[in-house]
Amino acid sequence: MEQLQDAQIDQLPIDLLAHIFLFFTSFTDLAQASIVCKKWKRGVRESLAHRRNLSFAGWKMDDDTIARLVCHAYNLRELDIPRSRWGCQITDSGLLKISLANCVGNLTSISLWGLTGITDEGVVQLISRTKSLEHLNVGGTIITDETLFAIARSCPKLESIVLWGCRHVTESGLVVLVDECRKLKSMNVWGTGVPEHCLSSLLIRCPTLQIKV
């Protein structure tokens, strides 16, 4: 009976296998499936290629693992790499590798919430290729105005940004961001230390902007 079931599974077309693997929420399960046989490995890769979003919340991942998965997700639109309870190990090196993925130019949402191992170097490299970005969360990181300048240059479609706790951003970076990102609707600057008079001047520049403090 077991051999019969194995034979039936082997007869499944590759696109159906890929569709089944789309429902896998565990990266561990996907990794185990990919080593069953060559056909399953191909099915796992094709399932990644069809995914519109990837979230690494709750997973302890390193630079190479995250970058490899993102590079296979050709149709990716939303990327979530937040700080997790176990600690995400991604660094600037990982962001540099991710920036080379074919999907980056089509990303509409990126969250790097609370990642303490990244700096302007990695974030700027990634942001410089995200021409379709609409939502960005870099709250809890140590980015500076350098990242805001890169966003202003590269993200004309940006609608919302979270800068919660980014204590190294200043009035200069926020002004450039608001002036260049004309579609910006929402900005969270709680804990940045930017003075209130600066926030008032931003509203003069963009009266429809919602500033969360």
Domains in the chain with CATH codes: 1-50 (1.20.1280), 52-212 (3.80.10.10)
Q: Which alpha helices (DSSP H) does 51-129 contain, by range? A: 63-72, 92-98, 120-127
Q: How many CB atoms within 10 Å of residue 64?
A: 13
Statement: the pTM of the whole predicted model exceeds 0.75: yes
Taking only the tens of pLDDT, the chain with its 213 residues reads 444 344 555 666 656 666 566 656 666 666 666 656 776 677 677 777 788 899 888 888 889 989 999 999 999 999 999 886 656 778 999 999 999 999 999 999 999 999 989 999 999 999 999 999 999 999 999 999 999 999 999 999 999 999 999 999 999 999 999 999 999 999 999 999 899 889 999 999 999 999 998
174 in Cβ contact with 202 (< 8 Å): yes
> How many helices, marked H, and strands, marked E, lie in the chain?
10, 7
DSSP class of 62: -
